[in-house]
Amino acid sequence: MRAYQIKLYQLYTDNKGKHRHVAFFMIGPLNYVMTDEANESSTMNPKKTRQQTPGGGERPAAETITPTAPEEFGRVQVWWGGGKGKTTAALGMAFRAVGHGFRVHMLQFMKGGADSVEGARGEYNAIAAVPGISYENTGHYGWHGLLDGSDDDEHHAKAKAAMRRTRALLDGISDASLDTPIDLSGDPEDGVHLLILDEVLYAVEQELITQDDVLSVIEQKPDNLELVLTGSHTEPTYLFDDVDLITNVRKQKHLFDDGIRARKGTEY
């Protein structure tokens, strides 16, 4: 008698709401049943549906963003160096966090304008389209004034105002319960899980604020708040004993060195 094998699947939902399937095997004249009750990676599970991509890969299905709370936040990160990508890396973490339903806020110290930047920065448009992330810019628009000293007073005033705003945010966040979900559209003073102080370290390097200002922010930080500090071309050794992660973004080659200004879609 010629041997043959047939495998059939039947999908069902158990009493806990989990998707299961039963595999029926028939080999020759013999029938038997094998139940796979723990196979949650099955492609028949709607939550694990993968779409085939044109390149032959797989794209896992996205889930709706709903407010949740992180379980392992509370660290302090530093991103510094002369290379491109410090703000970019912070924004990448921000969007990853909001994708999990965590509340994120970014306060920018030195992101001012330049004559090559037209309209809104691309990240601002993206932030406006995604729930759970907000931003504010306290930088003085006009980097030339920082370089030639003509706008020193305005730069100092803006940086000090940003530091006051940081302390106000931390006061509000300290009163929030960070181990619970937070309203994704709420005021950042009502609580966030991740706070980014973009280019705050560059403000220290330019002596607009002091090292002690930043150290006091770390000391004031609530235990469960993830804090990200970016900026500075000078190694911020004064922070090394008080932070958990330090990344040096080193420049090997940069378009700016060839006179190419910020490009829309990559730098702003």
pLDDT in tens, 7-56: 444 554 555 555 555 444 444 444 434 444 444 444 445 445 667 777 77
Can you name the residues that pair with 124 across neighbouring β-strands? none
Single-letter amino acid code for the residue at 260: I
Phi-psi domain of 24 (left: phi exceeds 0; alpha: psi -120 through 50; beta: other)? beta
- Domains of the chain, residue spans: 5-60, 76-258
- What pLDDT is stored for residue 149 in this prediction? 67
Residue 1 pLDDT class (50, 70, 90 cuts):
very low
58-96 per-position pLDDT tens digit: 888 889 999 999 999 999 999 999 998 999 999 999 999
Residue 258, pLDDT score:
77
Residue 161 has pLDDT above 90, yes or no: yes
C-alpha gyration radius of the chain: 25
- pLDDT for the residue numbered 267: 72
- pLDDT grade for 130, boundaries at 50, 70 and 90: very high
Q: Which residues in the chain belong to E strands, given as ranges?
A: 5-13, 19-27, 30-36, 50-52, 58-60, 76-80, 104-108, 133-137, 194-198, 226-230, 245-248
- Least confident residue range of 40-49, 127-136, 232-241: 40-49
Q: What is the per-residue pLDDT across 190-235, written as a single tens digit (0 to 9) for each?
A: 999 999 999 999 999 999 999 999 999 999 999 999 999 999 999 9
- In this predicted structure, what is the pLDDT of residue 101? 98
Continuous H helices in 192-266:
200-205, 211-220
Measure the CA–CA gap between 228 and 243, rounded to whole angstroms: 10
Give the domain 76-258 fold.
Rossmann fold (3.40.50)
Give 134's strand partners: 105
Q: What is the pTM of this model?
A: 0.77
**Residue 114 has what pLDDT?**
45
Q: How far is CA 84 from the centre of its chain?
A: 17
